[in-house]
Amino acid sequence: MSGVQTKVKDAFIYLDPPYEIGSHLYGKKGDMHRYFDHDDFSEKCGECRQDLLVSYNSSQLVRDRFSDWKAIEYEHTYTMRSTSTYTKAQKNRKELVLLNYDLN
């Protein structure tokens, strides 16, 4: 997304970064979580002029990073694990969908 200055007509981008959930699920031994810069990601998203939809874990920190975006929260169990402890913890987590465009 870096350097994108123009908006492509009728184009849409969906982004699904590693979530900030305290678990390291993606990559080799969780390295995609450890080395992912969430602040830089949100800044780059803010610079993009294209219509973006970003899915994230719902937290105040994520909402603060995307404060100018429309945020829609819904219940959704996301999991890459099926252990009873992890599945139980998922019941209290919510998904956040962030939009930088108007739905109308």
One-character DSSP codes across 40-104: HHHHHHHH--SEEEEEEE--HHHHHHTTTSEEEEEE----S---HHHHHHHTT-EEEEEESS---
Cα separation, 79 vs 6, in Å, equals 36
pTM: 0.73
pLDDT tens readout for residues 72-102: 998 766 555 556 665 566 666 788 999 999 8
pLDDT at 47: 93
Cα-flanking dihedrals φ and ψ of residue 52, to 5°?
-120, 140
Residue 75 bridge partners (DSSP): 94
